[in-house]
Amino acid sequence: MKHTPRKATLHVNQNEGLIFEKSSAGKAAWKLPPLDVPEVDAAKLLGASERNDLGNMPEVSEIEIIRHFTRLSTWNYAIDLGMYPLGSCTMKYNPRVNESVARVEGLANGHPYQPEKISQGALQILKTLSECLIDITGMDAITLQPAAGAHGEMTGLLMVRAYHHAQGRPRKKILIPDSAHGTNPATAAMVDYAVENLKSDSRGMVDIAALEAQMNEDVAALMLTNPNTLGVFEQQIHKIADILHAKGGLLYMDGANMNALVGKVRPGDFGVDVMHLNLHKTFSTPHGGGGPGSGPVAIKKKLEPFLPTPVLTAKSDGTLGFEYNRPQSVGRVRAFYGNFGMFVRALAYIQANGPDGLRQTTEDAVLNANYIRKGLEGTYDLPYSTPTMHEVVFSDKLQAKKGVRTMDIAKRLIDYGFHPYTTAFPLIVPGALMIEPTESESKEEMDLFVEAMKAIADEVQEDPQTVLDAPHSTRVSRLDETAAARKPVLRWKPVV
Amino acid sequence: MRYLPKSPADREAMLKAIGLRTVDELFAPIPAEYRLNRDLKVPRQMAESEIVDYFRQRSRENGEGYTSFLGAGAYAHYRPVIIDSLISRGEFLTAYTPYQAEISQGTLQSIFEFQTMICELTAMEVANASMYDGSTAAAEAVMMAVRLTGRRSVIVARSLHPEYREVLATYATHQGMPLSVSGFGDDGRVNLKELEKSITPETACVLIQSPNFFGTIEDVAAIAEIAHKNGAMLVVSIAEAVSLGIVEPPREADVIAMEAQSFGVPLGFGGPYCGVIATREKYVRQMPGRLVGQTVDKQGRRGFVLTLATREQHIRREKATSNICTNQALVALMVNIFMTVYGKIGLKELAKQNLAKTAYAAGEFAKQGKLLFAGAPRFNEFVVQTKEDPQAINDRLLEHKIVGGLPLKKFYPELGNAALWCCTELTTRTGIDSAVKSAAEREGSLRSAKEESVEEVAR
């Protein structure tokens, strides 16, 4: 190998089977205290509903469980190990104080139905976080209830529908740019809106002429990601808002890329009517291998009557409580009040930053993305030369000539010690390499990344097979996804 | 700012490399009139010690140190210490969704084990990697049944968690899914005669909860028979997962929508929790959410991948089975570790202790007041009817640092002065005794209800 990865070196890691394969009767990792009430006869209490057998549930000891999950954990890449340049996913540092304060007794053990008078601490957290997010977005009101970004989209579109319904005309469709996340059209379908695609112009922005042609009184809203998935700020954003508003439509903003804007510009100021945030992106709550997320939805005043119930409110005695009687509400989108544990973490993040820290964070995120763009320009094809904010999208056009595609380059990046960037998205860039470093990367880490990407580009020219066969350094090589889907094995079964 | 790894010199060097002089130039694409020229109105930058103090103070204002008898979809069970030790490993905590399988085998294998254990406990053939919570899982399970049957109307048991019913109503509004509610009988369970009458050839599914909102265990087989006879599916919601240790799983169900919070997830004022959907293998392609499958690599070694993605939004866009993307992976890991710790024997013993505590508490309350739905088997929860308004009883209990049962007037006005009480293995006999004593403090507040034999439950 001509290029030696500077960031990573192979080392031994432990093999580990499935937990069921370690199980044997009589081992246990639990111990219950003695009962302080009389024992009961389950058969008598439950009758035919009594269960006698728990099938193949495992029986293992505590040390085995610790080793099992610790070994599994070492097979994962993580932000804690290094740069995670997944575009549009905003994989930033997850501060540990967040985890610590989320576990403080009264917050971790608070029951959602405990009386409001002994819930003032939790309610105060909801209130303070709401106020912060409202100022950050420049909106008028917010609901913290949605469990994730896509759930926020659904909540937002439900409010859009309720708003139009109250205007006497529910409308029929949602305009969605061809560069949008898949959740946008999927959400529109869940709220029974037809989806109409809106094409991008040559600079990667909304095609204003197309928007003008497609906008009419059947359009309920435009779902726009800004900066869009190319990392490009929609410079004509106010014109876009005006076109929609002139025909009574609403501007929905997907806040997935809010990390490019916090403290610098506010969606509420450039014409957005409703938007969701992803606390697990912009506000540092951990992704945890795919969740939990949290997707608050911020809105302009005119949408306030339609907020999901319950709504946090200050009572006449100065205490906080929930208001349930909201006749125009879209209803409840989940049980209880939302992913409260994520609210605690997001607020701790905001407190650790303050206004100056949040602004610096945004500036660093944009600086980092542009530094990488500069570093890789020329080596990889840049399909849109428009200035970018917090992420940059290259294509595999130059490498494809040698038969190497974006996924191959991504897999080779693993051997260099990095998590891959986002591949093959947005759809408007064939063979996309979508890179978002976030503010959490040092100059050294990014220099290593650029060096790795350049080395791979060299390899593509000199020895494409090495790239095509990558990764070479992982526990398993590329997995057979076709077989997995054709004959799904979705659970372990004992060998008979 | 302590989370940012750059010195001023680094920033200078980077700007220079890009060919810019100031950071402001990076923001030039944003029209000047929209740029924010003031500080955000958020708290000033705080030291870590100040942040910890702030949340400790909020915690003290949040029911710290109270004994609680609340359940109703959120249950206080003991959480083994190793759950937090393990989920705090950065490789789990700070990893993304495992799309890049070669460097995500830890997360993928653990989800595969989670799916397996959920199948074992629910007696279903497949389970997904998680949903947001029990309420949205129930709504998505119903939508799945609508797709599978090609029918649109849905019957919902009134004994299903009232907030789950509200969520389903929200989801159903724009799906053209008419909902009707089926009442409960004197034993707190689905009234089979009423169900039989309301089911039609248009019914896609019947959605029930077992143990239901009152803690009583439904006659799942009888309900399934009615549903299946009419070509409808049976969707069963399980909100108290620990019940699966001692209560027969709803084997006759077609889809199970679960809330797994009881398995090691903190109450956390209502979330994040862990929904999950389990079903028969033949229905898997209509399932929402992520699925992990086993496969092999080029050398034939066992490995795991996210699979059947053609159901999902990032591939199918508006034709996906659901818009769900991010789920509850880290919470599912807590659930997974909890299930592994207790396992085959422990879960049963744990559930038995829950049964014993509840039986004792229900017995003590029955001596003083009227226990509703006493005729049906139950798990962890029971409804007590009183003469005195349960709100007044609870106010009195609160002075003793006890949070009483959930007053039901808001959700079930037909039950009069009734409250839903909950016990788990963490409830102590002393706690139960003092709650009963304080509740009965105002002479006759419990007893009278019994003596007057408050009339039968309305539906």
- Domain harbouring B404, CATH code: 3.90.1150.10
User: Which is nearest to B333 in space by CA: B276, B285, B287?
Assistant: B276
Distance, in Å, from the CA atom of A74 to the CA atom of B91, rounded to the nearest integer, reads 7
Please indicate, yes or no, if residue B61 is contained in any of the structural domains.
Answer: no
Q: Which of B323, B339, B355 is the last residue of a domain?
A: B339
Tell me how crowded residue B367 is: count the other CB atoms within 10 A of its CB: 12
pLDDT the model gives residue B455? 41
Interchain pair A69, B86: CB under 8 A: yes
Which residues sit opposite B292 in a β-bridge? B306
User: Which is nearest to A410 in space by CA: A402, A398, A419?
Assistant: A419
Which residues sit opposite B179 in a β-bridge? B154
Please indicate, yes or no, if residue B173 is contained in any of the structural domains.
Answer: yes
Same domain for B306 and B361: no
Distance, in Å, from the CA atom of A187 to the CA atom of A176, rounded to the nearest integer, reads 11
* Residues near B253 by beta carbon (within 8 Å), at least 6 away in sequence: B124, B220, B224, B234, B235, B236
The single residue listed with the structure tokens 């991010």 is: B326
State the amino acid at position A74 in one-letter form: T
If you average pLDDT over residues B18-47, what whole number do you get?
Answer: 96
Same domain for B266 and B189: yes
Lowest-confidence segment of A206-215, B45-54, B217-226, B445-454 by average pLDDT = B445-454
Tokens of B409: 């007037």
Structural domain including B353 reads 67-73+345-451
Q: How far away is chain B from the Cα of A411, in angstroms, using its nearest Cα?
A: 8
Is B296's pLDDT higher than 70?
yes
Q: Mind listing the pLDDT tens digit for each residue in B188-225?
A: 999 999 999 999 999 999 999 999 999 999 999 999 99
**CB A359 within 8 Å of CB A266:** no
Q: Which residues, given as ranges, of chain A have pLDDT below 70?
A: 1-2
pLDDT the model gives residue B459? 37
Distance, in Å, from the CA atom of B395 to the CA atom of B8, rounded to the nearest integer, reads 58
Same domain for B154 and B113: yes
Please indicate, yes or no, if residue B21 is contained in any of the structural domains.
Answer: no
Give the pairing type, strands A297-299 and B255-259: unpaired
Q: Which residue of A has its CA nearest to B273?
A: A339
Same domain for B381 and B306: no
- Give strand ranges (E) for A354-460: 392-395, 422-423, 432-435
Q: Which residue of B has its CA nearest to A280?
A: B326
* Residues near A33 by beta carbon (within 8 Å), at least 6 away in sequence: none
Same domain for B268 and B354: no
Same domain for B295 and B378: no
The single residue listed with the structure tokens 């403080």 is: A104
Q: Mean pLDDT over all residues of chain B?
A: 94
Residues listed for chain A: 496
Distance, in Å, from the CA atom of B193 to the CA atom of B208, rounded to the nearest integer, reads 15
Please indicate, yes or no, if residue B349 is contained in any of the structural domains.
Answer: yes
Crossing angle between the packed helical segments A443-462 and B8-18, to the nearest 10 degrees: 40
Contacts of B291 in chain A (CB under 8 A): 488, 490
Same domain for B183 and B273: yes
Residue B3 in 3-state DSSP?
coil
pLDDT the model gives residue B457? 40
Q: Which of B299, B317, B339 is the last residue of a domain?
A: B339
| pLDDT band with cut points at 50, 70 and 90 for residue B458 | very low
Residue of higher predicted confidence among B312 and B421: B421
State the amino acid at position B238 in one-letter form: I
| pLDDT band with cut points at 50, 70 and 90 for residue B149 | very high
Tell me how crowded residue A25 is: count the other CB atoms within 10 A of its CB: 8
Please indicate, yes or no, if residue B129 is contained in any of the structural domains.
Answer: yes
Pick A115's closest partner by Cβ from B174, B271, B403. Answer: B403
The single residue listed with the structure tokens 């929860």 is: B381
For residue B19, give the DSSP letter. T
Distance, in Å, from the CA atom of A295 to the CA atom of A300, rounded to the nearest integer, reads 17
pLDDT the model gives residue A496? 77
CATH domain A97-350 topology: Aspartate Aminotransferase; domain 2 (3.40.640)
| pLDDT band with cut points at 50, 70 and 90 for residue B443 | low
**CB A190 within 8 Å of CB A160:** no
| Burial annotation B316-327 (CB, 10 A radius, 16+ → b, else e) | bbbebbbbbbbb
Contacts of B222 in chain A (CB under 8 A): none
Q: How far is CA B133 from CA A338, B116, B167, in A?
A: 10, 19, 11
pLDDT the model gives residue B369? 83
Interchain pair B331, A291: CB under 8 A: yes
3-state helix, strand, coil in chain B (%, to 5): 45, 15, 40
The single residue listed with the structure tokens 């986002």 is: A422
Please indicate, yes or no, if residue B51 is contained in any of the structural domains.
Answer: no
Tokens of B416: 């009069």
pLDDT the model gives residue B249? 98
* Residues near A233 by beta carbon (within 8 Å), at least 6 away in sequence: A226, A227, A260, A387, A389, B29, B30
* Residues near A395 by beta carbon (within 8 Å), at least 6 away in sequence: A380, A381, A382, A383, A406, A429, A430, A431, A432, A433
Q: How far away is chain B from the Cα of A402, in angstroms, using its nearest Cα?
A: 22
If you average pLDDT over residues B157-177, what whole number do you get?
Answer: 95
Distance, in Å, from the CA atom of B428 to the CA atom of B68, rounded to the nearest integer, reads 11
Contacts of B91 in chain A (CB under 8 A): 73-78, 80-81
Same domain for B415 and B332: no
Give the pairing type, strands B418-422 and B381-385: antiparallel
For residue A195, give the DSSP letter. E
* Residues near B447 by beta carbon (within 8 Å), at least 6 away in sequence: B368, B369, B387, B440
The single residue listed with the structure tokens 């409808």 is: B232
Best of A80, A81, A332, A444 to disrupt the B interface (most B CBs within 10 Å) is A332
pLDDT the model gives residue B456? 41
From the number of C-beta atoms within 10 Å of its C-beta (0-12, 13-18, 19+), residue A281 rates as buried
Q: How far away is chain B from the Cα of A236, in angstroms, using its nearest Cα?
A: 8
Is B182's pLDDT higher than 50?
yes
Q: Please report, in angstroms and rounded to a whole number, the separation of the first and last CA atoms in chain B.
A: 60
Tokens of B264: 């090691």
Same domain for B335 and B349: no
Q: How far is CA A122 from CA A129, B47, B347, in A?
A: 11, 21, 32
Q: Which of B305, B320, B339 is the last residue of a domain?
A: B339
Residue of higher predicted confidence among A63 and B320: A63
Same domain for B416 and B321: no
If you average pLDDT over residues B164-176, what whole number do you get?
Answer: 93
In total, how many domains does chain B have?
Answer: 2
Pick A57's closest partner by Cβ from B96, B132, B343. Answer: B343
pLDDT the model gives residue A170? 86
Please indicate, yes or no, if residue B9 is contained in any of the structural domains.
Answer: no
pLDDT the model gives residue B313? 82
pLDDT the model gives residue A1? 54
Q: Mind listing the pLDDT tens digit for each residue in B268-284?
A: 999 999 999 999 999 99
Residues listed for chain B: 459
Please indicate, yes or no, if residue B231 is contained in any of the structural domains.
Answer: yes
Interchain pair A150, B316: CB under 8 A: no
**CATH number, residue B324:** 3.40.640.10
pLDDT the model gives residue A430? 95
Pick B36's closest partner by Cβ from A39, A151, A263. Answer: A263
Distance, in Å, from the CA atom of A149 to the CA atom of A278, rounded to the nearest integer, reads 5
CATH architecture of A362-482: Alpha-Beta Complex (3.90)
